[in-house]
Amino acid sequence: MRIHVGKGVGFLVGWALTVGGCSPWTAGRSTGPLAKGLPSSWSADKAPSLGVDQAWIARFKDPQLIRLVEEAMNKNPDLKATAERVRRAEAVARLAGAGKRPQASGQINTLQQKQRFPGFPIKLGSNTAESYGASLDVTWEPDLWGRVRDSQRAAVMESLAQVQEYRAARASLAGQLAKAWFALGEAGEQIVLAEAAIDVRVKTVASIQERFAAALEGGLASQLRLAETDLASARASLARWKADRARARRQIELLVGRFPDGMAVQPAGLPAAPPVPPSGLPSELLERRPDIVAAERRYVAAGSRRSAARAARFPSFSLTGRAGTSTGALEDVLDSGFGIWSVAGRVVQPLVAGGRLREEEKIAGHDETITLRELQGTILRAFAEVEQALVAEQFYATRELAVRNSAQSAREAAEASILDFADGAVDALTLLAAQDRQVQTAFQLVTLRRLRLENRINLHLALGGDFQLRASR
């Protein structure tokens, strides 16, 4: 599902295509120097796969997560504010183009005059006069040097940048919500593990107490204290994970636009990691990442503002026309045959402005250079994020497999040590050590699964892929 912020986007795209021959994507102008040095593939992923996965939210196969993301798209206040900034930018772009069209205004006026002559001995009759008139004024300033055109292009590009920022905010919100949802799922699984660990620790303490009471072997007092310490640690872990669960629930509610009362639903657990998304070619990132496209739009806008500042130093030419009527009776204003009209032209050439116009052009030039450097920095950071996410994906995959095998071995060792302790083949220290390894590797495996899922989200965001809530839409 795609979220639309208003019909004005079509206006922006149309103007971007027509105003001054400027296209929505002008990568050749803005990123040409960097594009020449782009690698042909990612260092961490040599596969030449094309495109980006737009259904990455659905890939986790969690209907509850999909519903929450959909709710957040409709209710999150910050996202709504970003959408409103898009609409405001659209209005600014339309306003910037108004100067290219003639401006017309109409008026109806009335005048009443009375003359008095103090001390004049002869009464000359009525000295009161009334007149009524209607007129239409038309003003037009031909855009000879492209100042209005460039100002409009700048406004349109700023609006298109806002659209890209909305895309970025939308994807970021979905990513934050998915991470919070997986944190909630991790907390649920860790709570189950902590409760199981407490049960095991309680049984272990009881077994050591029986041996201590029977005085079957020496050193059981210290071993009992260690077992009780492990039990207390397991209970502390349970309390911590319950606190993390409550925190994740409130974060989810805040993201979806609800009052954070901690009543959010609980996921069944962490899902399996879906297939790694296609990374595409490095050159495709320039056209796909919303932050890169937004920075490029602002660079183009800055260049247009500099052109407008340069054009402001040239003479301007305006035409003014007026037509109307004048009569002594209000009812005859529209039917009066007494018409008046005028046409005038004016040329204005800035002469002395204290260097203001020249300095404004210089400032606009500096702004253009700043936006270029910001664009270059955005591109470099984007490439770094992709490479880091790809490297992390390999690390987490390898690490998860190793910890999964370790957890399996630790579980088998702990089960065997319980039997050996019951038979008297091993002491309590061996049993406690085996149980601790089992608990820690189990906790570690769940955390690694969550971190791998979070990195998968980071990879999707780094690649600049938008998302669809439901594949059918």
Phi/psi of residue 321, each to 5°?
Answer: -130, 145
Q: What is the pLDDT of residue 53?
A: 73
- Percent of the chain, pLDDT > 90? 40
Q: What is the pLDDT of residue 396?
A: 94
Q: What is the pLDDT of residue 13?
A: 41
Say yes or no to pLDDT of 472 above 60. Answer: no
Report which listed range, 18-22, 26-30, 75-79, 351-355, is most confident.
75-79
Q: Which residues contact 170 (CB under 8 A, 6 or more apart)?
A: 3, 73, 79, 466
For residue 11, give the amino acid letter.
F
Residue 451 maps to a domain:
yes
Task: Select from 337, 51, 353, 25 the least CA-distant residue to 163.
Answer: 25
Task: Select from 423, 424, 446, 443 the least CA-distant residue to 435.
Answer: 443
Q: What is the pLDDT of residue 123?
A: 55
Say yes or no to pLDDT of 449 above 80. Answer: yes
Calculate mean pLDDT across residues 197-217. 82
Residue 118 maps to a domain:
no
Domain containing 319 equals: 8-111+129-462
Calculate mean pLDDT across residues 157-186. 94
In this predicted model, which residue has the larger pLDDT, 437 or 128?
437
Q: Please state, rounded to an integer, the average pLDDT across all residues of the chain.
A: 79
Q: What is the pLDDT of residue 208?
A: 85
Q: Which residues contact 399 (CB under 8 A, 6 or more apart)?
A: 448
Calculate mean pLDDT across residues 270-290. 83
Q: Is 107 helix (H, G, I), strand (E, B) or coil?
A: strand
Q: CB atoms < 10 A from the CB of 420, how many?
A: 16
Q: What is the pLDDT of residue 307?
A: 82
Q: What is the pLDDT of residue 422?
A: 83
Sequence-distant contacts of 429-436: CB under 8 A, at least 24 apart: 429/223, 429/226, 431/204, 432/204, 432/223, 432/226, 432/227, 432/230, 434/410, 435/197, 435/200, 435/201, 435/204, 435/230, 436/230
Q: What is the DSSP letter of 45?
A: B
Residue 123 maps to a domain:
no
Q: What is the pLDDT of residue 328?
A: 53
Say yes or no to pLDDT of 180 above 80. Answer: yes
In this predicted model, which residue has the larger pLDDT, 169 or 144?
169
Say yes or no to pLDDT of 18 above 50. Answer: no
Q: What is the pLDDT of residue 279?
A: 75
Residue 318 maps to a domain:
yes
Q: CB atoms < 10 A from the CB of 459, how many?
A: 23
Say yes or no to pLDDT of 90 above 80. Answer: yes
DSSP run (H or E) holding 472: none
**Cα 104 from Cα 466, distance rounded (Å):** 45
CATH code of the domain containing 270: 1.20.1600.10
Q: How buried is residue 354: exposed, middle or buried, by Cβ count under 10 Å (0-12/13-18/19+)?
A: exposed
**Cα 97 from Cα 152, distance rounded (Å):** 5
Q: What is the pLDDT of residue 305?
A: 86
Q: What is the pLDDT of residue 142?
A: 65
Q: Each residue of 292-327: pLDDT tens digit?
A: 999 999 999 999 888 888 877 767 666 676 655 655
What is the total count of domains within the chain? 1
Report which listed range, 34-43, 72-81, 87-96, is most confident.
72-81
Say yes or no to pLDDT of 16 above 50. Answer: no
Q: Each residue of 364-411: pLDDT tens digit?
A: 889 899 999 999 999 989 989 989 999 999 999 999 999 999 999 999
Q: Each residue of 244-269: pLDDT tens digit?
A: 999 999 999 999 998 887 676 788 88
Q: What is the pLDDT of residue 446?
A: 96
- CA distances to 30, 41, 273, 459 from 44, rounded to whole Å, are 27, 9, 19, 12
**Cα 287 from Cα 225, distance rounded (Å):** 63
Q: Each residue of 34-72: pLDDT tens digit?
A: 566 676 667 766 665 666 677 888 889 999 999 999 999
Residue 341: pLDDT band with limits 50, 70, 90:
low
Q: Each residue of 219-235: pLDDT tens digit?
A: 677 888 888 999 999 99
Q: Number of C-alpha atoms within 13 angstroms, CB side, residue 321?
A: 7
Phi/psi of residue 55, each to 5°?
Answer: -110, 30
Q: Each residue of 420-431: pLDDT tens digit?
A: 888 888 888 888
